[in-house]
């Protein structure tokens, strides 16, 4: 059996070119670029709660980092450093090697240095902390939405929730469709380039992790405004469009989390700028509604009438 | 039952005066002081592994932060911000309230802002990330020890291990002695002021978390040097001094972790400076040996002969 120290060294010690001092001391040391603020977020993923215990460890490694990079994207921050704490029932080398492969590949893609970590024995769980940089005063916060703003979302929504419904046998999908949705659930793409490009353009942003309605609700609450969103405008994948169970499709789009798309508000004057951005980045951006005075979210159904929202998002303690 | 969002808000949202944006967005935002590097460390504490499941939550809150502040101390960094991820089997309000009390009291004492967090359902475990600042190039690293340096340690060593031995009924202590040792185990004092004062004075530093021999071993390995330490010089509490079982006393001092004292090396020319520092801070600092050429740690026993070290520290996967 390998020791804790060996495990860290073997699987998680990589060159950290953007770091003063990486893994192996009491703390990592790094220098933020002058004139920049640091953005920091932390997420804990518990086996059996946030992922199945038999999840492919390489995919889990990807996802554990991806959800944190998505938080950086939602702030308009460029991710630079990550720390990983890992509890494992046994020091399983094959598992760790695959996990590290998924985690480090995504880190390399986004030029993120893994600078610190902790491995310990325990029920399988992960805690990832990511640090990023954003020019002073330019972060995309949740509290900046203003009456009259458009509400936008990137990509398509509901695919990850549909994959979950498929896994729970609540939806029947063709194999190819299931595979596609599962890739959205297992390997979300953090929208970092979009977040960075939206600095100075968007008024507020969040990533869709709890579900579109719940996450938009967070923006509205923090910004002290309301919003109207039209169900018919929500961007949906061909797979979700084909789904016969339209009630499930609607639930996935409005209440399904785990899509990790960017949901943001911006003034009407920059519509063309945002459309152009999406085109440049090869990423669909869709205007789904507008910010209003008052409070709360109104969703207009396919018939144009306000819907009653029963389940507004994922909450680990409900 | 309260929701995840309520829990964070109720127990962990405090003013964060040294922070641009605290709890409640996708990430926290902070500004490092000009000319400073950031020090960052993360630690995961798993219930049943690192602490007993029935540990007093207020003490656990203190300790979860203290061990991370100790990492900052060992870098000579001043801690400024913390993030807390918490998995709980049930959202137990009394438990959370007590945990938050212990955590936030220590945070306030050290002027540390809690800037982010995550609570989720799962087997009890905690992941704390702390960020601190240190002037560029002034951090106390593990790799700076040089031949001829003195080896120093703050406070006394072995008390926390003796408390553990008491809890496991491997040692019999008077009630007052047991209470004192338990306070060392449950409520370690991070030596932040000492770490900060040792900038530019110490060549290398680490905190005693795995055991004195193991932690000194980390410095020696990273610095590519050896060391000789004299058992008779190790600073011990009156309780440990009184212990009839001298074999256990020696094991506690050399191999017992969890003391969170600072272990550091410094050139002989600054002996008086370090003695004066200890006096100013009301903290014992003891010279226990010296750094040598070569590799590895030699401990000279009470009889002056080299000891055979069997168990050199705590490793979560051995």
Chain A residues within 8 A of B316 when measuring between CB atoms: 4, 119-121
A12 pLDDT exceeds 80? no
Does residue A37 belong to the interface with chain B, where contact is any CB pair within 8 Å? yes
A223 pLDDT exceeds 50? yes
Chain A residues within 8 A of B121 when measuring between CB atoms: 46, 49, 316-317
User: What spatial distance separates the first Cα and last Cα of chain A, rounded to whole Å?
Assistant: 40
Mean pLDDT of B164-192: 92
Nearest chain B residue to A23 by CA distance is B41
Which pLDDT score, from 0 to 100, does residue A79 have? Answer: 95
Residues A72 and A84: their CA atoms lie apart, in Å, by 16
pLDDT in tens, B135-154: 999 999 999 999 999 999 99
Sequence-distant (≥ 6) Cβ neighbours of residue A307 within 8 angstroms: A231, A299, A300, A301
Q: How far is CA B244 from CA A235, B157, B239, B249, B302, in A?
A: 74, 17, 10, 8, 15
- CATH for B4-135, among 3.40.120.10, 3.40.630.30, 3.40.50.970, 3.30.1330.10? 3.30.1330.10
B155 pLDDT exceeds 50? yes
Q: CB distance B86–A127 less than 8 Å?
A: no
Any idea what DSSP says for residue A306? B
Which pLDDT score, from 0 to 100, does residue A14 have? Answer: 64
Mean pLDDT of B41-69: 91
Count of beta carbons in the 10 Å neighbourhood of residue A148: 15
Residues B194 and B78: their CA atoms lie apart, in Å, by 11
Which pLDDT score, from 0 to 100, does residue A29 have? Answer: 82
Q: CB distance A31–B206 less than 8 Å?
A: no
Task: Quickly state the pLDDT bin for A254 (edges 50, 70, 90).
Answer: very high
**pTM for the model:** 0.88
Does residue A223 belong to the interface with chain B, where contact is any CB pair within 8 Å? no
Does residue B301 belong to the interface with chain A, where contact is any CB pair within 8 Å? no
Mean pLDDT of B62-73: 95
User: What spatial distance separates the first Cα and last Cα of chain B, rounded to whole Å?
Assistant: 40
Task: Quickly state the pLDDT bin for B2 (edges 50, 70, 90).
Answer: very low
Q: CB distance B129–A125 less than 8 Å?
A: no
Which pLDDT score, from 0 to 100, does residue B5 have? Answer: 47
Q: Where do the structural domains in chain A lie, given as residue ranges?
A: 4-135, 150-300
Does residue A302 belong to the interface with chain B, where contact is any CB pair within 8 Å? no
Sequence-distant (≥ 6) Cβ neighbours of residue A73 within 8 angstroms: A190, A191, A192, A194, A195, A196, A207, A262
Query: Which of A218, A212, A179 shows the shortest CA–CA distance to A59?
Result: A179
Answer yes or no: is B159 a known binding residue: no
Nearest chain A residue to B221 by CA distance is A24
- Name the CATH architecture for the domain at B150-300: Alpha-Beta Complex (3.90)
The lowest-confidence range among A6-15, A47-56, A90-99, A168-177 is A6-15
A5 pLDDT exceeds 50? no
Chain B residues within 8 A of A134 when measuring between CB atoms: 29
Which pLDDT score, from 0 to 100, does residue B17 have? Answer: 63
Task: Quickly state the pLDDT bin for B16 (edges 50, 70, 90).
Answer: low
**CA distance, residue B88 to nearest chain A CA (Å):** 10
Which pLDDT score, from 0 to 100, does residue A118 have? Answer: 83
Residues A2 and B271: their CA atoms lie apart, in Å, by 40
B49 pLDDT exceeds 90? no
A301 pLDDT exceeds 80? yes
Answer yes or no: is B232 a known binding residue: no
Question: Measured between CB atoms, which of B38, B43, B317 is closest to A30?
Answer: B38
Mean of pLDDT over chain A: 89
Which residue of A11, A23, A27 is the best one to mutate when testing the B interface, meaning the one whose CB has the most B CBs within 10 A? A27
B312 compared with A50, residue with greater pLDDT: A50
Task: Quickly state the pLDDT bin for A7 (edges 50, 70, 90).
Answer: low
Chain B residues within 8 A of A317 when measuring between CB atoms: 1-4, 7, 91, 119-121
pLDDT in tens, B258-281: 899 999 999 999 999 999 999 999
pLDDT in tens, B89-133: 988 889 999 999 999 999 999 999 898 888 888 999 999 999 999
Count of beta carbons in the 10 Å neighbourhood of residue A13: 13
Task: Quickly state the pLDDT bin for B234 (edges 50, 70, 90).
Answer: very high
User: What are the strands, taking DSSP E only, across chain A?
Assistant: 28-30, 36-46, 78-88, 113-121, 125-135, 150-154, 204-207, 226-230, 262-266, 285-292, 296-300
| B4-135 and B150-300 have identical folds | no
Which pLDDT score, from 0 to 100, does residue B275 have? Answer: 97
Task: Quickly state the pLDDT bin for A26 (edges 50, 70, 90).
Answer: confident
A275 compared with A256, residue with greater pLDDT: A275
Mean pLDDT of B41-50: 90
**Angle B250-B254-B260 from CA coordinates, rounded to 5°:** 125
Residues B236 and B249: their CA atoms lie apart, in Å, by 9
Q: CB distance B4–A315 less than 8 Å?
A: yes
The lowest-confidence range among A23-37, A142-156, A206-220, A278-292 is A23-37
B315 pLDDT exceeds 60? no
Q: What is the CA radius of gyration of chain B?
A: 20
Any idea what DSSP says for residue B143? T
Q: How far is CA B60 from CA A275, B52, B189, in A?
A: 51, 10, 13
Which pLDDT score, from 0 to 100, does residue B311 have? Answer: 55
The lowest-confidence range among A1-10, B115-124, B177-186 is A1-10
Residues of A numbered 137-166 whose beta carbons fall under 8 angstroms of chain B's beta carbons: which are they? Answer: 139, 141-143
A315 pLDDT exceeds 50? no
Answer yes or no: is B142 a known binding residue: yes
Mean of pLDDT over chain B: 89
Contact A59, A186 (CB under 8 A): yes
pLDDT in tens, B195-206: 999 999 999 999
Which residue of A25, A67, A262 is the best one to mutate when testing the B interface, meaning the one whose CB has the most B CBs within 10 A? A25
Answer yes or no: is B43 a known binding residue: yes
Percent of chain B whose predicted confidence (pLDDT) is above 90: 71
Which pLDDT score, from 0 to 100, does residue A258 have? Answer: 87
Which pLDDT score, from 0 to 100, does residue B284 have? Answer: 96
Nearest chain A residue to B41 by CA distance is A27
Task: Quickly state the pLDDT bin for A117 (edges 50, 70, 90).
Answer: confident
Which residue of A16, A42, A64 is the best one to mutate when testing the B interface, meaning the one whose CB has the most B CBs within 10 A? A42
Which pLDDT score, from 0 to 100, does residue B159 have? Answer: 95
| HSE-CB of B3 using CA atoms within 13 angstroms | 9
Which pLDDT score, from 0 to 100, does residue A120 have? Answer: 87
Percent of chain A whose predicted confidence (pLDDT) is above 70: 90
Task: Quickly state the pLDDT bin for A8 (edges 50, 70, 90).
Answer: low
Residues B63 and B105: their CA atoms lie apart, in Å, by 11
Which pLDDT score, from 0 to 100, does residue A176 have? Answer: 94
Collapse the DSSP code of A166 into the 3-class scheme (helix H, G, I; strand E, B; otherwise coil) and give the result: helix
Mean pLDDT of B72-80: 95
φ and ψ at residue A63, rounded to 5 degrees: -65, -40
Mean pLDDT of A139-146: 93
Question: Measured between CB atoms, which of A21, A117, A205 is closest to B42?
Answer: A117
Q: What is the CA radius of gyration of chain A?
A: 20
């Amino acid at each position: 059996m390998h020791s804790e120290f060996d495990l860290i060294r073997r699987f998680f010690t990589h060159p950290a070119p953007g770091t003063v001092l990486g893994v192996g001391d009491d703390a990592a040391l790094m220098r933020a670029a002058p004139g920049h603020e640091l953005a920091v977020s932390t997420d804990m993923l518990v086996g059996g709660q946030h992922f199945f215990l038999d999840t492919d460890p390489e995919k889990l490694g990807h996802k554990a980092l991806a959800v944190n990079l998505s938080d950086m994207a939602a702030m308009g921050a460029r991710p630079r450093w990550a720390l990983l704490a890992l509890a494992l029932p046994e020091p399983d080398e094959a598992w760790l090697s695959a996990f590290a492969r998924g985690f480090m590949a995504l880190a390399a893609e986004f030029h993120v240095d893994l600078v610190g970590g902790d491995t310990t024995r325990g029920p399988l769980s992960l805690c990832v902390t990511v640090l990023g940089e954003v020019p002073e005063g330019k972060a995309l916060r949740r509290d900046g939405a203003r009456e009259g703003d458009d509400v936008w979302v990137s990509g398509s929504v509901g695919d990850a929730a549909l994959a979950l419904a498929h896994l729970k046998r609540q939806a029947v999908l063709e194999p190819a469709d299931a595979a596609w949705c599962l890739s959205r659930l297992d390997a979300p793409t953090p929208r970092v380039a979009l977040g960075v490009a939206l600095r100075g353009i968007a008024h507020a942003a969040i990533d869709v992790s709890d579900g579109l309605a719940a996450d938009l609700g967070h923006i509205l609450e923090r910004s002290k405004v309301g919003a109207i969103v039209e169900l018919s405008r929500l961007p949906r994948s061909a797979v979700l469009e084909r789904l016969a169970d339209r009630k499930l499709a609607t639930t996935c789009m409005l209440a399904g989390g785990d899509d990790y798309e960017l949901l943001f508000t911006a003034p009407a004057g920059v519509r063309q700028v945002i459309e152009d951005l999406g085109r440049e980045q090869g990423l669909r951006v869709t205007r789904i509604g507008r910010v209003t005075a008052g409070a709360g979210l109104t969703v207009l159904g396919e018939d144009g009438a306000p819907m009653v929202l029963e389940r507004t998002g994922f909450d680990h303690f409900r």
